[in-house]
Structure 1
Amino acid sequence: MRQEMEEEKLRAVYYARCSTEEENQKDALVRQAAEAEEAIRARGWRLVDAYVESRSGTSRKGRWEYNRLYEDLEQNRFDVVVIKSQDRLMRNTRDWYLFADRLNCAGKRLYFYLENTFYSPEDALLTGIKAILAEEYSRELSKKMNLAHQKRQQNNGKPVLTSKSYGYRRTAGGAIEIIPEEAAVKHRMYELCADGLGGRKIAAVLAAEGVRSRAGKPFSGTDIIRMVRNPMNKGTVVMNRKHYDFNTGKTLPTPPGGQYVYAGKIPAIVSEELWIAANRAADERLCRKKVGKSVQT
């Protein structure tokens, strides 16, 4: 009886998470939060905070709410953490053990409302196995997503245009067309580069002429060289250039053998000849710079 009275006084928080892939399930995150709140009410606990986010559970990176919860474990703000299941908390074995250790050291409790049970250190082996299985599930899911993306790119998929795709825009019908005013600026960048000017000097010339980016700022030398290097400007689209690596948690460049090159995929801003001339000049400048540094050392 006394234990029940003490439990009713518990200060509870809940953590709810759906990854970006799972957001396709309509209102999944909203339902998860509502279920957690109902579980807290059903046990007579007092809800004091909620940690809700839409992020992948494969690492702590970028998970602001999880990291806030992790730090709050050492504060005297709550007594019990409520979650739907272990894989909602994370899909990473190492992070699970770190969380469980901090939870135990702080004297907090962890309640899985789907199983209607509390975590116990005695369950370390079982929960460790669950963490491994959750991590393997995420690894396999990552492989499938990479493969699906690769197949779309291999099958002559639609080129991606971002806000940084200066000189181009996508029409209402989905086609890619040139923006004449921006294309003229890009063409000038290539001409100046082919004439032997480096990125910073080209940037200075354009700034003096009053040329600005879409954001209304002068172009940097880095911006200019990046655009000069991009084969898209000669109408060639390179697909599957990057892929997500589950083991490192980073987006990495795809080796050339795994990339798909489509010439004439979009309208060209510069000719093949001008593109080659500008890039050859940029290569020569880079080579001279490296030689100069080696001589100095």
Structure 2
Amino acid sequence: MIKTSAPKRVILYLRLSVSKDESVSIANQNKELAALAEREGWEIVATFTDDGLSGGKPREKADKALRMLRDNEADVIAVYKFDRWSRMGARAVADLQDVLDARAANHSPALFIALSDGLRSDSPAWDIQVALMAALGRTERQLIRSRVAAARKYQRSTFRHSGEPAYGYRTIPHPDGKGRALELHPEESAVVRRMVDAVLDGATGYAVAKMLNAEGIKPRRSEKWTAPGVADLLRRDALLGYMTHRRPGENSRTRRPILGEDGLPVQVWPAIVTPEESAQLHAALARRGDWNKMPGAGRTRASRLLSGLVECATCGRTMRVNYTDKLKDGNRAARYVCSAPAGACPAKVSIHADMLEKHLTSEFLNVAGKLDVYEVRESTTRNVGDLAQVEQAIAATAADMAAPGADIAFLAARMAELHARRTALEAVPVETLTETVATGETFAEAWENRDTAGRRKLISSALSRRVVVKPAVKGSRKLDATRLDIPWQWTEPDAIDPAHFDDWEAATENQPNHARERICGTGPPMELTYKPDATDFRRWLLTDAERTVRAEEERLTSGDEDNGRV
């Protein structure tokens, strides 16, 4: 009986840098290589396609095809042209040859075919042909790089845009008739402006991303926004209307603005943010932890509303959050527990987290919920935007000086001018300015619009110190408010002048119904240090009995009106 050998297993590798040329299109490559496999009687075990990748970029699918050949999962790799495999030169050829040599040494020879070039790895002239083709491919790629670099340099010198614009912008025909320019994208630029305003108002990266995702607003290349993604966008110089570029060898995210003759960045396109706002944004992004995590790193377990704001009455230590084992419903109960080590506190205190948070939230919103929020912002007369521009220009000039072939004399003169300008800006006398700004929100609305961290700031700023929790009475299953010492600022003895209560109605008739949210610092990001005016809280200091009487009066009045309508 004659044994027939199994058909060879072939991998078809299809590749095209740009999907335009019909003669070497992916579909045509697949057709030609499939016909080759049929003529040879080979079994196609995999087809890999890298469509639209540049010839010099590593390709995961090409590496996978080579791995399958090395691991004896295939016998042949077939490509349409050898430069479809790689233009990376000798290293790429060496990797391929190493696999072919290893298979031959194991008495299981493999085959590589470049159909259009007539190349076969089992031909006597293989070594010479492949070395020549690799050298030609590498030379061609270097020529292409040079042409592209020259074209981009021309585009920069004539202020013409190339590539994909930053989020918030779109391309339009250049006014001169050649090339492209940028204009604001109506919808996207409005989204960016909302991000900027939210961050300057103290929002966290997580809160901004959550807001956009909840509204169904998506970034261009992802399904949802993340805090690092928001930060990456808000750091971009493109939002200032600058035309940016990347120097050879720099990271793709390292884009520098084009500088004018004075060494400062040139605004070419319409700006979404001002230099002052950009400086404030960079300061915010540099100091907030959740902005700086890499995409995909995830968030650490979220802290509770009152984390760091509650202490044990027995020993005075901060209470931390502990979670019980899973309950019957699959959830875990959270409790605030004294953080003292074992034996360090004679009577460690704990309390149900949800109950405590609900109680404090209710008290806070019952008092402050309907009041308008005002921000008291402190700023300086120093032009931080101009200073930030000069600092940026100094950094860009320093990078230019380190580049090969740099005009050191010219750049050194520019650097001296920039340093002199910075010194002059820093020498301007600084005056602190204070401005009270209405946010347009009530405290209840601000509460709804903030995440846990933002709400914690609202509550903590209304407290003069930490909330003290006393030990519970045995057998109690409900929250006992007498266990809590809540030092609301409006209940402090010196928070209000008792004379204001001689006539409560008269005292409140013409008073503004708001509390002020004091904000310290030279500008956003701003920390809340809530310092309400004494007069803001006069109507809150009614005794429980007075509140009960007033509520009953309102109920009866409402009831009488209802009865009158029946």
TM-score (norm 1): 0.66
> For each residue in 1:212-234, what CA deviation from the matched residue of structure 2 results, as whole angstroms up to 9, or x when unmatched?
353496762x4555444334444
Q: Which has the higher contact order (CA 8 A, sep 6+)?
A: 1
Of residues 85, 92, 96, the one that matches 1:95 is 92
Kept after mapping to 2: 8 A contact 1:36/1:83: yes
**Paired residues for 1:207-286 under 5 Å:** 211-213=211-213, 214-215=217-218, 220=227, 222-223=228-229, 225-234=231-240, 236-239=241-244, 241-242=245-246, 245=249, 251=252, 253=254, 262-263=266-267, 265-266=269-270, 268-276=271-279, 278=280, 281=283
In 2, distance between residues paired with 1:145 and 1:242?
13
Determine helix, strand or coil for the equivalent of 1:37.
helix
| AA in 2 matched with 1:157 | R
Aligned with 2:130: secondary structure? helix
- Cα deviations by residue, 1:26-79 (Å, 9 ceiling, x for unpaired): 26221122112222333x3223234332233435x3332x22211111344443
2:82 aligned to 78, 83, 86, which one?
86
In 2, the alpha carbon distance for the partners of 1:223 and 1:190 equals 14
Asked if 1:108 corresponds to 2:110, the answer is yes
Distance 1:26 1:132, change over 3 A: same
Indicate if the aligned counterparts of 1:12 and 1:47 stay in contact, CA closer than 8 A: yes
Structure 2 spans left out of the alignment, 5+ residues: 104-108, 174-181, 289-566
Separation in 1 of the partners of 2:46 and 2:139?
Answer: 28
Report if the CA contact (8 A) 1:12-1:79 is conserved. Answer: yes
Is 1:24 the counterpart of 2:27? The answer is no
CA distance in 1, matches of 2:162, 2:79: 40
Q: Which of the two has higher C-alpha Rg?
A: 2
The Cα of 1:183 is off from its aligned counterpart by 5.0
- Provide, for residues 169-213 of structure 1, a one-character-per-residue CA deviation record: whole Å limited to 9, x for no partner: 549998424447535523424634xxxx6xxx6447758xx7335
**Count of equivalent residues:** 257
| Same amino acid, percent of matched pairs | 12
Write 1 or 2 for the structure with the bigger share of helix.
Answer: 1
Partners in 2 of 1:83 and 1:284 — Cα distance?
49
Aligned to 1:176: 184
For the residue of structure 1 that corresponds to 2:16, the secondary structure is coil
Q: Matched residues in 2 for 1:175 and 1:91: separation? A: 37
> What is the SS of the residue equivalent to 1:212?
helix
List per-residue Cα deviations over 1:245-297 (Å, max 9, x = no partner): 5xx9x64736666899542512x334444444x158559969xxxxxxxxxxx
**Closer, same or farther in 2 for the Cα pair 1:139/1:254, shift >3 Å?**
farther
CA RMSD across the alignment: 4.2
1:190 and 1:274 in contact (8 A); partners too: no
**Judging changes above 3 Å, is the alpha-carbon distance between structure 1 residues 154 and 202 closer, same or farther for their aligned structure 2 residues?**
same
Tell me the distance in 2 between the aligned counterparts of 1:69 and 1:284.
43
Q: For the Cα contact (< 8 Å) 1:10–1:79, is it kept in 2?
A: no
Kept in 2: contact 1:111–1:118 (CA 8 A): yes
How far does residue 99 in structure 1 lie from its aligned partner after superposition?
0.9
Say if 2:33 is the partner of 1:36: yes
Which 10-residue stretch deviates more, 223-232 or 67-76? 223-232
**1:126 CA drift (Å):** 3.7
Which consecutive residues of structure 1, in runs of 5 or more, have no partner in the other structure? 287-297
